[in-house]
């Protein structure tokens, strides 16, 4: 697994606009946001990504949305990624 910083992840078309699972993250002390980590998985569907992570050896991952502007927040289109899951 290659370690990447968050800005490089967001600039990469493979990850932009998708959910990204990062392992062994480093965090910004001021904001608490992940600034670097090893990308272990990526998916357009948050539920699918979380299911794969749960079944893998990467249990301490940070799951973040990779917005094209570098933010870690998904677009607020009102779409609930957990709407079809049982809680």
Tens of pLDDT, residue by residue over 11-42, are: 999 999 999 999 999 999 999 989 999 999 99
- State the Cα–Cα distance between residues 15 and 47, nearest whole angstrom: 16
pLDDT of 39-68, one tens digit each?
Answer: 999 999 999 999 999 999 887 899 999 987
Contact 10, 35 (CB under 8 A): no
Q: Which pLDDT score, from 0 to 100, does residue 73 have?
A: 76
Is the pLDDT score of 2 beyond 60?
A: yes
The residue extents of the domains of the chain are 3-66
- State the Cα–Cα distance between residues 29 and 82, nearest whole angstrom: 30
């Amino acid at each position: 697994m290659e370690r990447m910083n968050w800005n490089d992840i967001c600039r990469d078309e493979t990850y932009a606009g998708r959910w990204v699972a990062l392992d062994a993250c480093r965090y910004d002390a001021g904001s608490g946001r992940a600034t670097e980590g090893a990308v272990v998985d990526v998916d357009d569907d948050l539920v699918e990504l979380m299911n794969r992570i749960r079944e893998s050896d990467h249990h301490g991952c940070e799951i973040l949305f990779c917005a094209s502007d570098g933010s870690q927040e998904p677009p607020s289109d009102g779409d609930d990624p957990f709407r079809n899951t049982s809680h």
